[in-house]
Structures are given as structure tokens and as C-alpha cells.
Copies of this chain bind each other. A is one copy, B any other.
Amino acid sequence: MSSPTASPEPLPASPDDEEDRAVGKLFAVLLAGEYAAFYRLIDESSMAPDIPSGIAIARMAASEIAHFELLAEQVSRRGLDPADSVERYRAVFDQYHRATTPRTWLEALVKAYVGDGLAADFYTELSEMMPPVAQRVVAAVMAETGNSQFAREQVTAAIAADPALRSPLTLWGRRLLGEAVTHAQWVLAAEEGVTDLLFSGAASLNGVADFFDSITARHAERMSDMGLG
């Protein structure tokens, strides 16, 4: 045992320790997001009109659990408990899902496709600002595809068959983006270490704004993929 010192100050954490703690927190946030997304997706799938849709939803759910497992391992390695992490951060994701509860199967499909894409965008943007070891984790999560192409195809076909659906679904897509950005900002604002990790680079004076601009641009492409916007 080392002898106690008289100094009242805690030892300053090394920059690496601090960075690793912030990465752990960020992964804990993402873990809670995957947990919420899994249960919400299944819940919303109760509107699925047929077995092929039910199978497609089950496949998306499986890839969310695969993401969850990858992140849970990383969170545990950094001394955090996965269940506690979900507990700590899930409220904001549950709130996002409550604010974006689909009323129809088509709204559920748009949400699935947009949500899957937004999650992938967040992971991509985040990964560019992360230390290399964390980047590899994010790349592994991303490599597990979200299986949401079926949603895009069904929405495109539905709009082709009934063009009157286009305008309300476009508004719905905008609302999904707005709520996602709002809730993401809440999470970032609540966890200072995470914000510092992501937006403290020399070129990042406009970091937060650029981050959301880039996500907005890719969202517009995705809406257009579905024949919306």
C-alpha cells in the first residue's frame, strides 16, 4: 500500500484518462439509444400489415441488438455498467420516441428509414471526432447494416400508388429530423465531457453547427430517396 499524502487535491487525471472517460460516456449514451430503439421498433411494428414486413422489422431489431452488444462491451471495458448506462440516458430517447409516435404503418416505415439513417449519420459524424480506438468501435457498429431498405421501397411504392401521401409524409419526415436534432442537443448539453470530446478541436469553433448541418443535408438526400421532400 502507498502511504497517504497530506495533499487535499485529487490527482489530476491524465488527458488520456479524461478522453477515455468521455468516450465511455458517449458509448453509454449510444447504448441507451439502441436499447430504446429496439423496444420502440418492435412496439411500432404491431402495425405491420404482413409477414414479410414483420420479418424485415425483426431483422432491423436484430441489428439494433448487435449494436447494443458491441457498445455494451465497450462501456463495460471503461468501468461503466451497461444497465446503469441505459437507466441514466434512456429518458431522452424515450421522449424522442414519444414525440414521434407514428399513427400509420407508412409513418412507422418513414420513421424506421429516417431513424436508421440518422443514427448512421450520427455515428459517422461522431467517429470523425473521436480518438482512433473509438473510431474502430463505431466502424464495427456501422458495419452491421440497419436493414432498412425495405422501408424505403415500401414508402416509394405507396407514394407512387397514391401521390396525395407525399405531402403529409414529407412534413412527418421534417418533424422526425427536428425532434432528433433537438433531443441530440439536449444529450450533448447535459454531458459536458462528451461535448468537449466531440467539439474541442482547433477547427471546431463552428463544430456543433457544422455537425447538425451535415446531418440535415444527408437527411434531405434520404427523404428524396423515398420520393419525399
A39's nearest neighbour on chain B, judged by CB, is B54
Interface residues of A in 49-99 (CB under 8 A from B): 50-52, 54-55, 58-59, 61-62, 65-66, 68-69, 72, 82-83, 86-87, 90
28 of the cross-chain contacts (CB-CB < 8 Å) are A35-B51, A35-B54, A35-B55, A35-B58, A38-B58, A39-B42, A39-B54, A39-B58, A42-B42, A50-B83, A51-B83, A51-B86, A51-B87, A52-B83, A55-B68, A55-B72, A55-B82, A55-B83, A55-B86, A58-B65, A58-B68, A59-B65, A59-B69, A61-B65, A62-B62, A62-B65, A62-B66, A65-B65
How far apart are the CA atoms of A55 and B126 in the complex, in Å? 25
Q: How many copies does the complex hold?
A: 2
Query: Which of A52, A59, A62 has the most C-beta atoms of chain B within 10 angstroms of its own C-beta?
Result: A62
Q: Closest CB-CB distance, A192 to chain B, in whole Å?
A: 25
- When distances are taken between beta carbons in the complex, the residues of chain B under 8 Å from A83 are 50-52, 55
The interface on chain A, measured as residues whose beta carbon lies within 8 A of the other chain's beta carbons, has a size of 23
10 residue pairs, one from A and one from B, having the closest CB atoms: A62-B65, A51-B83, A52-B83, A42-B42, A51-B86, A51-B87, A58-B65, A38-B58, A62-B62, A55-B83
How far apart are the CA atoms of A68 and B54 in the complex, in Å? 12
Further 14 A-B residue pairs, CB within 8 A, beyond A51-B87, A55-B68: A35-B54, A35-B55, A38-B58, A39-B42, A39-B58, A51-B86, A55-B72, A55-B82, A55-B86, A58-B65, A58-B68, A61-B61, A62-B69, A65-B65
How far apart are the CA atoms of A86 and B50 in the complex, in Å? 11
- When distances are taken between beta carbons in the complex, the residues of chain B under 8 Å from A39 are 42, 54, 58
How far apart are the CA atoms of A72 and B54 in the complex, in Å? 14
- When distances are taken between beta carbons in the complex, the residues of chain B under 8 Å from A54 are 35, 39, 86
